[in-house]
Amino acid sequence: MQTLYVSQQNCYVCLQKETLLIKQGENIYGEVQLPLLEQILIFGSSQVTTQVIRACLLRDIPIGYLSRMGYCYGRILPISRGYRQLSRYQQQLSPIEKLITARAIVRGKLKNSRVLLRRQRQKRESEVLEKVLLSLDYLADQAAQAETCERLMGFEGAGAAQYFNAFSECLTNADFVFSGRSRRPPGNPVNAMLSFGYQVLWNHLLALIELQGLDPYCACLHQAHDGHAALASDLIEEFRAPLVDSLVMWLINRKMVHAESDFEFNNGGCYLNDSGRKKFLKAFLQRMTEEIKIDNGEKQPKWDILNQQVRAFKQFVYNPSHSYQPYRID
């Protein structure tokens, strides 16, 4: 997945033949070949010319507009995407088929969170860690049998609270203090990075969901409300720990980010600033292009597992008796 991330502020993106130029005044920050591009994400207040928008619409390249911290305002998509054949099948999924999938998703999330913590246990001893590992196991089993979506959300919430408790034990850099998840706004640098990472990932998933022709507003675990693309929120669950949390942990423990110079405080929250955002995206990209072995022995960049899961969900929609299997690490 080749993406152009414009995280620098007050740039403008213009078209020159087959190339996009990212400029600020007469300064050219970069050139990108349009035909090889799959997605453009604009963070903050950079401009995109109408010529670029038109060229992207013609080529099925979505443009996402996000806040500087990664909250997605919306996207520009070609009109032909409006016709949704698959969505009819999605809407015909029965409540029990949805519940089974929602259970699998929550269980997958809890299991992946647990694996991340288990790997940390080899590096340090901690009573909290031991306790949380046990209770995540218990909650994952409970989730697999939950009778309703409300109960399922309960187990998920309990799991997340436990998990973040143990997550803070695993941060070894004293500059970063983390005593639990806070969002809207994120209260400290750790939360700022988590929120930013989830938003970037969420947005990618949304783009992939659109590319596969699925209806992003029709989901199993999350309720679609106020135009919330619930399917992206469903599919992100299994990836939070392996793709974002582990990266945040690595950036902090290896002292790749600095609590002072990579963050800014405004409107009562803490956010990554220009340098922090760039560092984060760079590390994120590097991880996502790392190759891993997939089931058939072939090597694929990590990007591909996102696509695989979206495709797996599509298969499930076409054929609900084959249940959806979330991505698992071990």
Partner 1 sequence: MFLYVIAYDIPCDKRRKKVADLLEGYGQRVQYSVFECQLTTEKYQDLRRRLRKKLNLTEDSLRFYPLSRHTLSQVESWGVGPSVIEPPSSVII
Does position 7 bind partner 1 by CB under 8 A?
yes
> Helix 246-253 vs helix 95-121: angle between axes, to the nearest 10 degrees?
20
Smallest gap from Cβ 176 to partner 1, in A, equals 23
Residue with tokens 């080529």, as numbered in its chain: 59
Span near partner 1 by CB under 8 A; candidates 7-15, 67-75, 174-182, 229-237 = 7-15
* 3 is a site residue for partner 1 (CB under 8 A): yes
- Among the residue ranges 69-77, 195-203, 238-246, 281-289, the one whose residues contact partner 1 (CB under 8 A): 281-289
CA distance 97 to 324: 10
Pairing between β-strand 19-24 and β-strand 27-33 as defined by DSSP bridges: antiparallel
Q: How many Cα atoms within 13 Å fall on the side-chain side of residue 103?
A: 16
Query: Considering CB under 8 A, how many residues would be counted as binding partner 1?
Result: 25
Task: Select from 110-118, 173-181, 219-227, 279-287 the region that touches partner 1 (CB under 8 A).
Answer: 279-287
| Residue 116 binds partner 1 (CB under 8 A) | no
Interface positions, 17-36, toward partner 1 (CB under 8 A): 17-19, 22, 29-30, 32-36
The alpha carbon of 304 is separated from its chain's Cα centroid by a whole number of angstroms, namely 14
Residue 29 Cβ, how far from partner 1 at the closest point, in Å? 5
The yes or no reply on residue 2 touching partner 1 (CB under 8 A) is yes
Q: Does 171 bind partner 1 (CB under 8 A)?
A: no
DSSP conformation letters of 137-189: HHHHHHHTT-SSHHHHHHHHHHHHHHHHHHHHHT---TT----S---SS--SH
Closest residue by Cα to residue 209 from 128, 314, 119, 299: 314
Which of 29, 250 has the CB closer to partner 1? 29
Q: Is 15 in the site for partner 1 (CB under 8 A)?
A: no
Contact code string over 237-276 relative to partner 1, x by CB under 8 A: ----------------------------------------
- Compute the 3-state secondary structure of the chain and give helix, strand, coil in percent, each to the nearest 5: 50, 15, 35
Given the complex with partner 1, which of 37 and 53 has the nearer CB atom? 37
How big is the CA angle at 234 (ends 228 and 238), to the nearest 5 degrees?
145
Buried b (16+ CB within 10 A) or exposed e, 215-229: bbbbbbbbeeeeeeb
CB-CB neighbours of 188 under 10 Å? 18
293 lines the binding site for partner 1 (CB under 8 A): no
Is 11 near partner 1 (CB under 8 A)? yes
Q: Does 6 bind partner 1 (CB under 8 A)?
A: yes
- Binding residues vs partner 1 (CB under 8 A): 1-8, 11, 17-19, 22, 29-30, 32-36, 278, 281-282, 285, 289
